[in-house]
Amino acid sequence: MSMTLHKDALWDKTLEIISGKVGESAFELWFRPIKLIQIKEKIAYLEIPNRFFREWIEDNYPTIIQETIEGLAELQLGLKFRIAGKEDEALKKIDTRLENRRTKLASRGIYLNPKHTFDSFVVGPSNQFAHAAAKRVAENPGSAYNPLFIYGGVGLGKTHLMNAVGNMIVDRSASISVYYVSSEQFVNEVVTAMRHERMGEFKDKYRNVDVLLVDDIQFIAGKTATQEEFFHTFNDLYGKQKQIIISSDRPPIDISDITDRMRSRFSMGLIADIQAPEVETKVAILYKKAAADRLKIPEDVVYFIATRVKSNIRELEGCLIKLGAHASLVGAPVDLSLAKAVLKDLIADDDKPISVDGVQKAICEFFGLKLHDLKARRRTREISNARQIAMYITKHLTQMSLSEIGAAFGGKDHATVIYACRQVAEKRTGDETLNKTIENIMKRLKQ
Ligand code: ADP
Ligand code: MG
């Protein structure tokens, strides 16, 4: 197919598939304006209107373009973004430097985000304990606190801090091996190794690292074989005084479905939490981020965003990115009225209660369905998929019982709702795009 599909046709098809996955408003805003310029030497060159597009896509759907286009073209492709028009030279230099660092580290098997350093991390009361602990570990890997267990809510800086430790260690010693892995990836690696009878290789790889960073460990809950493997990896590294850092959205004691011996290993070193940031910390983060993007943003806008976005720092940055993209597209300076208009769907009104009607409406808008489809018996794959997601979200965001939820979806029984919730929970852990979709819909509902 690849050779026969013309570049423009390939891109049209790519966009069509993406639009079905990300929802209409995100698609129109962030994907529609992108052009595929050429494919050369296994790299697809994409033209975007300004730098904020790349940031938004990397934050929200980091793999969707590549996966879709690779699937259609049936070949492996790298992606490169090019900004239409003139680009700020200083920023371009910084980007190139970061990209080079990323590539260089990756060639050594080190997958760290070069942007996530201690320098770019703003310290405030909410995160100073975790920050101090991370810094000590970076300065004395294997001997300060082992393991270091960092926990906190979504978007509060756990991944950033772990990467900062990794980056600092790598900078201080060229020979040390640092391995960063999400727990989902760890699960996949265990499964693949077992399936292809390559457990030996797997063990060699993990037992030869000097520093192991495992992000979002809560996802190994309930996965027995993976836990078993992780347990042995942990013991082996720990015995050799190799540094282990683990992050989670909750403290070890609250991770259900892991063995007690695993839980007690997590608690052997230091447990550090990150709390929701105070307004001052949010303000400092916004200024730092704006400066890094050369975005001029007045004080009232900074305070507007900092007070309206409750805690998630990724959302805080998301506001700035959207504002930056908009201001740069229309060539207008950022002011409060522009901010209010552009950010109205990102920013919370107050803590309004969420109803099943609201969920159904959001799902219908997102997937382009009619309300009666969602409640009908008829089930195409699209509809039943959307319905399952709607049930799952309703279960999570409202106080309704399973039978009440079933009734609200055209008289389904409570077993159907349980099944739907399990299905979605399961798929969510293995499908990053679906996970983001659900996060985005939930986020929108809470606003
Ligand atoms: P988590 O892993 O806890 O979900 P991340 O580490 O991915 O959160 O952080 C979300 C975003 O917020 C990232 O872009 C990160 O760089 C940024 N961020 C979080 N905390 C800080 C901070 N203290 N200073 C600067 N940026 C931060
Ligand atoms: Mg994270």
Q: What is the DSSP string of 259-299?
A: -HHHHHHHTSSEEEEEPPPPHHHHHHHHHHHHHHTT----H
- Considering every ligand atom shown, identify the ligand nearest to the alpha carbon of residue 284 and give its number: 1
- Considering every ligand atom shown, identify the ligand nearest to the alpha carbon of residue 182 and give its number: 2
Half-sphere exposure (Cβ direction) of 135: Cα atoms closer than 13 Å: 10
What is the predicted pLDDT for the residue at 345? 75
Answer yes or no: are the C-beta atoms of 289 and 320 closer than 8 Å: yes
Tell me what the mean pLDDT of segment 204-218 comes to. 95
Tell me what the mean pLDDT of segment 113-142 comes to. 97
| Model pTM score | 0.80
159 CB under 6 A from ligand 1? yes
What is the predicted pLDDT for the residue at 2? 46
The band of 375, judged by pLDDT with boundaries at 50, 70 and 90, is confident
- Considering every ligand atom shown, identify the ligand nearest to the alpha carbon of residue 180 and give its number: 2
CA atoms of 438 and 394, how far apart (whole Å): 11
CA atoms of 51 and 86, how far apart (whole Å): 11
Pocket perturbation via mutation, ligand 1, pick of 119, 131, 160 by most ligand atoms within 8 A of CB: 160
The rounded percent of the chain whose pLDDT value lies above 70 is: 98
The rounded percent of the chain whose pLDDT value lies above 90 is: 73
The band of 1, judged by pLDDT with boundaries at 50, 70 and 90, is very low
116 CB under 6 A from ligand 1? yes
Tens digits of per-residue pLDDT, 308-365? 898 899 999 999 999 999 999 988 899 999 999 999 877 765 556 788 999 999 998 8
39 CB under 6 A from ligand 1? no
What is the predicted pLDDT for the residue at 311? 83
